[in-house]
């Protein structure tokens, strides 16, 4: 009888499962034919990109109101916060990606292509399906092109040339959403493109993983000299922002937890990790306590941190650095260099800025938008920009800083003690979080402008700083958090708007975009993380949260990114990867 019950439960279980799958397929087919029937009857929204900005938009847009087409060279969404983990094998590559088709379903059409040009008057985009050097040096292009110039040839491709045909095409739009992200900024430093690794796309992470393995296997060659072994096992990370810090942390974990086991002598005598930062502290966008904690923690983790050190050139076997206040250049022998010194606008972003006019699109960081995220200078409001490629007009912030100056200058002298003014700006940050980004950037400018060391700041000096800063400053940080909130906001706005081309959204009771900062997280290695709640108003108001560091923070970090994984599939893979790494260690083979 028990056997009979087990049999019935099994049959019912499998039956339900297959019925559910059949229903899903039917629904998919039904939705697809529904959307085909309504083609040409609805306004068309074209979304460029499949990243943190585009995907939340595509998931929330009302497809019964619009025909939605997504164009992007990457047919998957990438969970960028886990890239440092992928680069050392803590997490596997397929865990951090999800096919865009499975994420957006059949009601949104996806086309794998780069947008290479936009005609805002005719409302047409031009798309190319091959690597176009004009699109970007960029990581999206690199993703299907050569593995690494460093590995001695630009010929190894992931995809072999097949008989595919993919002609260039034009596409009309009623509304265009630009969510094409950014690319790595090399500041034109010689040798970076040729010899350093970036960490922005999945292929970058795979290349780094191979390069680490390669360095260790090379060091094991019997005829290697001691000096050469030390060079081969010296890993350099340039940039102490969150990317550089998280990568250095993951690399130290790999060395301590796995490579030490396989290469005990090399790890004991020759391995070195150096993080080079131009400023006087790492994670400069976070609370000072967090920067200090990270630096102390890195010393414990055997990561050398060179502060106030500027990398001037990357060569094949060394980096050339200059220390602050010195004119001398020093050469540091090393093997793998990871370049993480921030981001810049993609060529397409700059092309759109030029088409609209650089007098209006004056910010080099990205496309200037209004508070509804509509690109400035496009009269009918038909182009939106979100994520890393966009920046909200920061003039309001400049006004606010000027107003603060006037507020502090009670005696109306037109000059203020710089230190006093800084303190005031810092105090106001809690009330108006966006000021934080602004105040940190202008701090260095203060010191530079105050060349006569008077210690005073005049209103005209402040204005000139703000004017210059306006062209370089992002009102909001370039993070996934900002991009996804913007994506969701634009979807909601378009769903609600009765007339999307009306210049007056206020009349339609549509509210401008308001960013809600939930805090910043970074993994610092040794199963520890740091969490900074500065500026996260909704949380601070209720709980008065202080910066967190250490083990407790890592649980927050892990649970946050676990819940952020888009689907059950990737959540399951991530959980398995963490358990696998914990029990069996990382796979260090080079493939």
> What are the residues binding ligand NAI (CB under 6 A)?
187, 189, 238-244, 246, 276-279, 284, 310-311, 340-343, 477-479, 520-522
Sheet holding 528-532, edge to edge: 520-525, 528-532, 548-550
State how far the Cα of 221 lies from the Cα of 229, in Å rounded to an integer.
9
- Report in angstroms how near the CB of residue 581 gets to ligand NAI at its nearest: 20
Residue 333 CB: number of other CB atoms within 10 A? 15
Distances (CA, A) of 287 to 11, 292, 440, 527, 546: 57, 9, 11, 20, 10
Which residue among 83, 238, 466, 500 contacts ligand FAD (CB under 6 A)? 83
Q: Which does 69 bind (CB under 5 to 8 A by kind): ligand FAD, ligand NAI, none?
A: none
**Residues 175-214, mask of contacts with ligand FAD (x by CB under 6 A):** ----xxx-----------------xx--------------
| Contacts (Cβ under 8 Å, ≥6 apart) of 456 | 415, 416, 417, 418, 450
Residue (454 or 567) nearer to ligand FAD, CB: 567
Residue (263 or 557) nearer to ligand FAD, CB: 557
- Report in angstroms how near the CB of residue 190 gets to ligand NAI at its nearest: 11
Residue (35 or 481) nearer to ligand FAD, CB: 481
Q: At 562, is the secondary structure helix, strand, or coil?
A: helix
Per CB under 6 A, which of residues 378..407 are in contact with ligand FAD?
A: 387-389
Q: Which does 286 bind (CB under 5 to 8 A by kind): ligand FAD, ligand NAI, none?
A: none
| Contacts (Cβ under 8 Å, ≥6 apart) of 159 | 144
Q: At 346, is the secondary structure helix, strand, or coil?
A: coil
Which residue among 45, 51, 186, 490 contacts ligand FAD (CB under 6 A)? 51
Residue (89 or 241) nearer to ligand NAI, CB: 241
Token pair recorded at residue 413: 């002298």
Q: Which does 483 bind (CB under 5 to 8 A by kind): ligand NAI, ligand FAD, none?
A: ligand FAD
Which residue is at the shortest CB distance from ligand NAI? Answer: 241
Residue (84 or 400) nearer to ligand FAD, CB: 84
Residue 10 main-chain phi, psi, to 5 deg: -60, -45
Residue (71 or 251) nearer to ligand NAI, CB: 251
Query: Helices (DSSP H) in 450-504: which residue ranges?
Result: 459-470, 480-496
- Matching residue, tokens 């370039």: 478
State how far the Cα of 529 lies from the Cα of 581, in Å rounded to an integer.
18
H or E element in which residue 245 lies: helix 242-254
**Residues 467-496, mask of contacts with ligand FAD (x by CB under 6 A):** -----------xxxx-x-------------
| Contacts (Cβ under 8 Å, ≥6 apart) of 64 | none
- Report in angstroms how near the CB of residue 178 gets to ligand FAD at its nearest: 8
- Report in angstroms how near the CB of residue 400 gets to ligand FAD at its nearest: 24
- Report in angstroms how near the CB of residue 52 gets to ligand FAD at its nearest: 3
Residue (235 or 263) nearer to ligand FAD, CB: 235
434 is an interface residue for ligand FAD by CB under 6 A: no
State how far the Cα of 18 lies from the Cα of 31, in Å rounded to an integer.
20
State how far the Cα of 83 lies from the Cα of 89, in Å rounded to an integer.
10
- Report in angstroms how near the CB of residue 294 gets to ligand NAI at its nearest: 12
| Residue 119 region by backbone torsions, left for phi larger than 0, else alpha for psi between -120 and 50, else beta | beta
Rg of the chain over CA atoms, in angstroms?
26
H or E element in which residue 532 lies: strand 528-532
Q: At 552, is the secondary structure helix, strand, or coil?
A: helix
Q: At 294, is the secondary structure helix, strand, or coil?
A: helix
- Report in angstroms how near the CB of residue 366 gets to ligand FAD at its nearest: 9
- Report in angstroms how near the CB of residue 362 gets to ligand NAI at its nearest: 21
| Contacts (Cβ under 8 Å, ≥6 apart) of 233 | 215, 216, 219, 266, 270, 271, 272, 335
Which residue among 35, 44, 46, 49 contacts ligand FAD (CB under 6 A)? 49
Please count the CA atoms within 13 angstroms of the CA of 378 that sit on its side-chain side. Answer: 30
Per CB under 6 A, which of residues 344..383 are in contact with ligand FAD?
A: 346, 348
State how far the Cα of 472 lies from the Cα of 24, in Å rounded to an integer.
48
Which residue among 56, 81, 433, 525 contacts ligand FAD (CB under 6 A)? 81
Q: Which does 179 bind (CB under 5 to 8 A by kind): ligand FAD, ligand NAI, none?
A: ligand FAD
**Residues 90-129, mask of contacts with ligand FAD (x by CB under 6 A):** ------------------------xx--------------
The residue ranges that bind ligand FAD (CB under 6 A) are 48-54, 71-74, 80-81, 83-84, 114-115, 135, 140, 179-181, 199-200, 243, 346, 348, 387-389, 478-481, 483
């Amino acid at each position: 009888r028990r056997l009979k019950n087990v049999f019935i439960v099994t049959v019912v279980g499998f039956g339900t499962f297959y019925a559910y799958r059949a229903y899903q397929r039917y629904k998919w087919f039904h939705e697809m034919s529904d959307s085909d029937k309504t083609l040409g009857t609805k306004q068309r929204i074209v979304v460029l990109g499949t990243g943190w900005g585009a995907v939340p938009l595509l998931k929330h847009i009302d497809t019964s109101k619009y025909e939605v087409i997504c164009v992007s060279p990457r047919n998957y969404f990438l969970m960028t916060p886990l890239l440092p983990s992928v680069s050392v094998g803590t997490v596997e590559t397929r865990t951090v990606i999800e096919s865009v088709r499975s994420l957006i379903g059949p009601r949104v059409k996806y086309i794998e292509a780069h947008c290479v040009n936009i005609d805002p008057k005719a409302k047409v985009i031009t798309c190319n399906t091959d690597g176009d050097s004009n699109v970007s040096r960029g990581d999206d292009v690199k993703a299907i092109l050569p593995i690494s110039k460093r590995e001695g040839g630009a010929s190894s491709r992931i995809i072999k040339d097949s008989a595919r045909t993919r002609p260039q095409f034009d596409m009309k739009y009623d509304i265009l959403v630009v969510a094409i992200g950014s690319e790595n900024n090399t500041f034109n430093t010689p040798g970076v493109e040729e010899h350093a690794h970036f960490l922005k796309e999945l292929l970058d992470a795979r290349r780094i993983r191979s390069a680490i393995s390669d360095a260790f296997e090379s060091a094991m060659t019997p005829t290697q000299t001691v000096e050469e072994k030390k060079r081969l096992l010296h890993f350099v990370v340039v940039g102490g922002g969150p990317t550089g810090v998280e990568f250095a942390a993951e690399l130290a974990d790999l060395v301590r937890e796995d490579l030490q086991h396989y290469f005990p002598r090399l790890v004991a005598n020759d391995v070195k990790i150096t993080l080079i930062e131009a400023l006087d502290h790492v994670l400069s966008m976070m609370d000072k306590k967090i920067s200090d904690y990270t630096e102390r923690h890195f010393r414990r983790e055997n990561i050398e941190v060179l502060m106030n050190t500027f990398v001037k050139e990357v060569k094949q076997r060394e980096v050339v650095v200059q220390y602050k206040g010195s004119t001398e250049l020093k050469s540091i022998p090393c093997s793998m260099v990871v370049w993480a010194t921030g981001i810049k606008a993609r060529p397409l972003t700059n092309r759109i800025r030029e088409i609209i006019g650089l007098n209006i699109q004056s910010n080099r960081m990205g496309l200037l938008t209004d508070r509804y995220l509509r690109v400035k200078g496009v009269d009918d409001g038909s182009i939106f920009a979100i994520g890393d490629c966009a920046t909200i007009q920061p003039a309001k912030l400049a006004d606010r800083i000027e107003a603060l100056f006037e507020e502090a200058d009670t005696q109306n002298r037109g000059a203020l003690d710089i230190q006093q003014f800084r303190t005031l700006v810092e105090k106001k940050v809690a009330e108006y979080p966006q000021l934080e980004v602004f105040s940190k950037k202008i701090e260095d400018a203060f010191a530079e402008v105050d060349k006569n060391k008077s210690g005073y700041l005049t209103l005209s000096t402040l204005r000139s700083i703000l004017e210059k800063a306006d062209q370089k400053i992002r009102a909001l940080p370039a993070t996934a958090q900002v991009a996804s909130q913007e994506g969701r906001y634009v979807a909601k706005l378009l769903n609600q708007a009765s007339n999307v081309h009306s210049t007056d959204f206020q009349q339609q009771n549509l509210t401008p975009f308001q960013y809600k900062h939930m805090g910043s997280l970074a993994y610092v290695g040794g199963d520890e993380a740091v969490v900074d709640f500065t500026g996260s108003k909704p949380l601070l108001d209720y709980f008065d949260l202080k910066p967190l560091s250490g083990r407790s923070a890592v649980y927050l970090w892990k649970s946050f990114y676990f819940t952020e994984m888009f689907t059950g599939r990737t959540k399951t893979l991530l959980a398995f990867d963490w358990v696998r790494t914990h029990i069996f260690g990382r796979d260090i083979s080079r493939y």
